[in-house]
Structure 1
Amino acid sequence: MGEFKFEKWMFKDESLKIEAITHKSFASENPADGPHNERLEWIGDTIITTVVSDYLFFRFPYHKEGALTKLRSKIVCKETLAKFARKLGLENDLRLGIGALKSGDRSNERLLEDTFEAYIGAVYLDSGRDLNEVNKFLEPIIKLFVDELAENEHNNNNGSPPRDSGPVYGPINKIIEPSDPNGMLQNWAQSRGFEIPDYKWATPERKDENNKPIFDCEVIIDGKVFGSGSSGKKKEARKKAAICALESFGIFNYNSSPI
């Protein structure tokens, strides 16, 4: 992930922090040093899912629950939460038993995921069970991850890039496309008093290496090109053009104006 610095939570109750970073292997060998982190892990798992769901729900107000669930699963998973744990430096803070240390468990992704969940559970309790405070703590790194995921998806996209007259891509969600981008674009344009989007096709048609047609589509609103898309199928090219336009408008900020 980028250069974002994930600051640790300033615990009022240090015992919660210690519990969050204590693996059961350490607690078994040192029973006088307090409990292990599995109870905190249990509640932290629920808190993370809630915070991520809240963030995605309000960042992507035009997407259906299936698309949001797909994106949430990319965040609330072993690989991503282990990455967050490393960003916090929990890999070095972990209290492990001798056997776990010898096995190299400090870098074990499953263990790091569990530790991050426990840490967030501890943050929740230390904040006085204030979800708003947990939101403030977690949202910056969630936003960074979603932005980078969107950027990577765009860079890996095999579709044709926008033409010079088209819009510039922003860090909008290529990962979860709207279910009906053409309808969404039309509703948006009409609600803002603009003309109904018009789709124009480039002529002559291009051909791919197998001599099959490639359809190039541009979407025009009030005489200006705001999106373009290419595909071997007209319907898909039209859809890509609409998505391109939605991205150029920053459609997830409904107060923005394209013209």
Structure 2
Amino acid sequence: MFDQERINDIQNMIGYTFKNQELLEQAFTRRSYSMENGGENNEILEFIGDAALNLVAVKILREEFGYFNKKKQQNPNYYYRWETYESTFSSDKDEGQLTEIKKRIVRKSTLADAIDDLGLQNYLIMGRGDRKKHVEQSNSTKEDLFEAIIGAIALDTSWDINTIQEVVENIIDIDDIIGSDEDSYIEEIQNWSLKHYDVLPDYSVCNYLPSEMNFGTPDWASPNSMWTLMHSSKRGEFDSNTKYASLLALEDIPCWFIGYGHSKNMAREEASRLAYEYLDDQNRLWTIQDEIENPCKKMAVNQLEILARRGYFSLPTYDFYEEYDEDGNPIWRCECHISEEDIYYWSTASSKKDAKKDAAWGMLKHVLDMEEN
């Protein structure tokens, strides 16, 4: 059913060439088709792919956040010689944090989005019922297809975990998932780059071991190479636990940032820290004041909400109280409060709308640190 052109298209998209191309076709064959026409479908491959994907996710997290502690022991044959060896295993994240990140990697929406981005659901081989219901548009169907592809690759490679991992990382943006884990310098730099240039920053990561020659590693990874003299850069420190180096380049910034760490994520985090401190020194960090181009009383309610939805603080609350003047006319008092602030801003007006607008304007000037007129 798959001609060679279609097979080649799929293989190019996922970054893997099958030795047994019938496994690739099986991965795209739904049960509805096999019920009508016979042959195998992709359900058993889904089962295998689910297990393989979980294993790959754990391996990725081990590489990103895990490392062996190093110890020294005296060589029994040489009194003055000490040897370094790997001892216990540690992680930058605890079990709960690792579990949450793993869930994000293997969850349905992640897998479905990856299939959708490549348009692989359009190659599904389906029966009449599935075609009539357009099940290829379902996230569950896309998730099944992703797992079936991984299961087919697992069988085709005799469970070569490194090859399976390469394909997963080709299809899923793992760095984006891991980088969104928590408040970090990585997240700060990603947000800065997106707000200024609408692109994510460019990271390069490679193995780098201080005690070895590191043949084949890029010149930028070594602090003693000619590259350091030829390029403006800021470089972190490394020690005996260093295993990775990360190079960070930012749009329109005449400096490169190089971090070292015992995990890939730690190296990226260090490079991001150097970049953050550089931007801070140059007064180029994006601040809350940059979010609102023209603060004004007329738009104060909406502008406060914009800042809240961008994560600067929680949504403001407004409390209203009705009072009356000497002539019995209603006067509205509005109090604006943000839970992260220890201050209330209030205003009175003949209408609730104007009282709310004035109270919001007072709070907006406060959070933007604007001088009172």
TM-score (norm 2): 0.40
8 A contact 2:29–2:41 mirrored in 1: yes
Query: Out of 45, 50, 53, which is 2:55 matched to?
Result: 50
Seq. identity, %: 32
1:19 counterpart residue number: 26
- Which gives a bigger RCO, structure 1 or 2 (Cα 8 Å, sep 6+)? 1
8 A contact 2:28–2:148 mirrored in 1: yes
2:142 counterpart residue number: 112
Query: Out of 34, 42, 45, which is 1:37 matched to?
Result: 42
Q: 1:44-100, CA deviations, whole angstroms, 9 ceiling, x for partnerless residues?
A: 000001001110122023111210110111111111111122244321110111111
What are the within-5 Å matches in structure 2 for residues 83-232 of structure 1? Answer: 83-142=113-172, 144-147=173-176, 150=179
CA distance 1:131–1:148, change in 2 (3 Å) = closer
Query: Which is greater in Rg?
Result: 2
The separation in 2 between residues aligned to 1:82 and 1:110, in whole angstroms, is 7
8 A contact 2:14–2:171 mirrored in 1: no
The separation in 1 between residues aligned to 2:140 and 2:187, in whole angstroms, is 28
Q: 2:17 aligns to what SS in structure 1?
A: coil
The separation in 2 between residues aligned to 1:93 and 1:43, in whole angstroms, is 21
2:102 counterpart residue number: 72
Kindly state the Cα deviation for residue 136 of structure 1 after the two structures are TM-superposed.
2.1
Kindly state the Cα deviation for residue 150 of structure 1 after the two structures are TM-superposed.
2.6
CA distance 1:132–1:151, change in 2 (3 Å) = closer
Query: Out of 97, 111, 126, which is 1:81 matched to?
Result: 111
The separation in 2 between residues aligned to 1:11 and 1:76, in whole angstroms, is 23
The separation in 2 between residues aligned to 1:104 and 1:153, in whole angstroms, is 37
8 A contact 2:153–2:164 mirrored in 1: yes
Q: 1:87-134, CA deviations, whole angstroms, 9 ceiling, x for partnerless residues?
A: 443211101111111111011110110111011000111113211211
Aligned AA (1:105)? V
Aligned AA (1:93)? Y
Query: Out of 17, 33, 53, which is 1:10 matched to?
Result: 17
Aligned AA (1:9)? Y
Kindly state the Cα deviation for residue 171 of structure 1 after the two structures are TM-superposed.
9.1
Greater per-residue strand proportion: 2
The separation in 2 between residues aligned to 1:88 and 1:10, in whole angstroms, is 16
User: Does 1:63 pair with 2:63?
Assistant: no
CA distance 1:81–1:19, change in 2 (3 Å) = same
Task: Note the residue ranges of structure 2 that are not aligned, 5 or more in a row.
Answer: 1-11, 67-91, 193-200, 204-237, 240-257, 275-373
8 A contact 2:24–2:149 mirrored in 1: yes
The separation in 1 between residues aligned to 2:140 and 2:56, in whole angstroms, is 21
8 A contact 1:55–1:139 mirrored in 2: no
2:69 counterpart residue number: none
Aligned AA (2:125)? R
Aligned AA (1:124)? A
CA distance 1:66–1:148, change in 2 (3 Å) = closer
8 A contact 2:14–2:170 mirrored in 1: no
Aligned AA (2:55)? T
Which one is further off, 84-93 or 124-133?
A: 84-93
Q: 1:18-61, CA deviations, whole angstroms, 9 ceiling, x for partnerless residues?
A: 11101101111111xx2111111001000001001110122023
Aligned AA (1:17)? L
Aligned AA (1:15)? E
